């Protein structure tokens, strides 16, 4: 392991069980963070003092001032954005975990819309699938408008809603035609 340079800012890292590691310079501690060895449960102290500071406070006061504009230290640690562009409602993701993007149900809406047409011979299956396609599709459009999921599959949701609506109209016309034919005969 490389010895830290004399004259540079050196720090000790205390993990939750009380063990201390170091001395290490700023770049080494940041490397430990990306490796998952240091996180917000750790404390940092300077090599010439006994005062402990939480890792997140140390990082904010000692690293942000020295960071390059597009370095990992200046990038947002938040997983998702919100509609208003502020920090409210964002979820902080630890450095050793990845962000999971929520997926929509656009494909389910489309499949229900298509199934409603394959079940046209069944007077019960077609309307049920069509109603579920429309209801789930409207729910997905609301989630998209609130920004909970991405808008990449909006067109798929609209196709599923259109298929379900067209099937309900077709079923209503067919049933009305059948009712008129039954009355006239």
Separation of alpha carbons 65 and 73, rounded Å: 10
Q: What is the pLDDT of residues 172-184, one digit of tens each?
A: 898 899 899 999 8
DSSP 8-class letter at 103? P
Q: What is the pLDDT of residue 109?
A: 92
What Rg value do the Cα atoms of the chain yield, rounded? 29
pTM of the predicted protein model: 0.46
Q: What is the pLDDT of residues 100-120, one digit of tens each?
A: 556 788 889 999 999 988 887
Separation of alpha carbons 56 and 28, rounded Å: 16
User: Cα angle at 12 between 16 and 39, to 5 degrees?
Assistant: 45
Q: What is the pLDDT of residue 78?
A: 45
Q: Taking a C-beta distance cutoff of 8 angstroms, is the pair 67, 82 a contact?
A: no
Q: What is the pLDDT of residues 123-148, one digit of tens each?
A: 678 888 999 999 999 999 998 887 77
Average per-residue pLDDT in the chain? 76
Q: Taking a C-beta distance cutoff of 8 angstroms, is the pair 171, 134 a contact?
A: no
Q: Identify the burial level of 66 via C-beta atoms within 10 angstroms of its C-beta, where 0-12 means exposed, 13-18 middle and 19 or more buried.
A: exposed
Q: What is the pLDDT of residues 19-59, one digit of tens each?
A: 888 788 888 888 877 777 787 778 888 877 777 888 777 77
Given a cut of 70, whether residue 8 has pLDDT beyond it is: no
Q: Tokens at residue 137, please?
A: 């599709």
Q: What is the pLDDT of residues 60-104, one digit of tens each?
A: 776 555 554 444 444 444 444 444 444 444 555 566 665 555 678
Separation of alpha carbons 144 and 123, rounded Å: 32
Q: Tell me if residue 154 falls in helix, strand or coil.
A: helix
């Amino acid at each position: 392991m490389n010895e830290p340079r004399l004259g540079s800012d050196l720090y000790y890292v205390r993990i939750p069980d009380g063990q201390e590691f170091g001395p290490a310079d700023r770049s080494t501690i940041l490397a430990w963070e990306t490796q998952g060895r240091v996180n917000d449960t750790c404390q940092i102290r300077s090599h010439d003092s006994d005062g402990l500071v939480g890792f997140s406070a140390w990082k904010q006061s000692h690293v942000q001032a020295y960071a390059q504009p597009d370095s990992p230290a200046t990038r947002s640690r938040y997983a998702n954005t919100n509609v208003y562009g502020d920090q409210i409602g964002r979820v902080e993701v630890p450095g050793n975990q990845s962000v999971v993007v929520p997926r929509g149900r656009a494909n389910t809406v489309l499949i229900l819309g298509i199934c409603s047409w394959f079940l046209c011979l069944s007077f019960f299956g077609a309307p049920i699938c069509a109603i579920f396609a429309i209801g789930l599709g409207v729910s997905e459009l609301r989630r998209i408008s609130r920004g909970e999921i991405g808008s990449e599959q909006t067109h798929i949701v609209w196709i599923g809603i259109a298929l379900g609506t067209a099937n309900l109209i077709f079923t209503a016309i067919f049933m009305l035609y059948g009712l008129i034919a039954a009355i006239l005969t």
